């Protein structure tokens, strides 16, 4: 059996789950008070921190699923995203609209990465 490691377990979820050389992060969000652009920046910064703890980084993201509370924020989120990804290492990505845990949350990003 491939080993499973978990980090930052909260009783509800683990922020990081590592299975062999695949890393699963729980859905990341920014601060409820922030703009869409800032929530995107905060979310991506959290993802970078978690990937670093897991022994990975943003150039090793395999798949990103992005949920926006409103698709009207698509361009504002993308402007931050497009600047953040490293050319030549872009992950597979999908983006759809979904209300999130609190109405003030505008962006949630779910990451699968390689170690």
* Smallest gap from residue 13 Cβ to a copy of itself (A): 4
Q: Which of residues 23-52 bind a copy of itself (CB under 8 A)?
A: 24-27
* Smallest gap from residue 106 Cβ to a copy of itself (A): 12
31, 43 Cβ separation under 8 angstroms: no
* Smallest gap from residue 31 Cβ to a copy of itself (A): 18
Site string (68-87) toward a copy of itself, x via CB under 8 A? ---x--x---x--xx--x-x
Number of residues interacting with a copy of itself: please give it, by CB under 8 A: 53
* Cα separation values, 35 from 9, 20, 57, Å: 28, 37, 25
With tokens 């980084």, the residue in question is: 57
> Binding a copy of itself by CB under 8 A: which of 37, 48, 100, 104?
100
- Measured between alpha carbons, how far is 50 from 63 in angstroms, rounded to an integer? 15
> In 3D, which of 33, 29, 38, 49 has the Cα closest to residue 98?
29
């Amino acid at each position: 059996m491939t080993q499973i490691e978990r980090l930052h377990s909260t009783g509800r979820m683990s922020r990081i789950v590592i299975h062999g050389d695949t890393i699963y992060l729980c859905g990341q969000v920014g601060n409820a008070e922030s703009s869409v652009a800032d929530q995107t920046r905060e979310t991506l910064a959290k993802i970078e921190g978690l990937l670093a703890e897991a022994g990975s980084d943003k150039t090793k993201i395999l798949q990103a699923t992005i949920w926006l509370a409103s698709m009207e924020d698509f361009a504002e989120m993308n402007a931050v995203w497009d600047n953040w990804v490293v050319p030549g290492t872009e992950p597979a990505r999908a983006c759809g609209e979904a209300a999130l845990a609190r109405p003030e949350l505008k962006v949630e990003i779910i990451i699968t990465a390689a170690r």
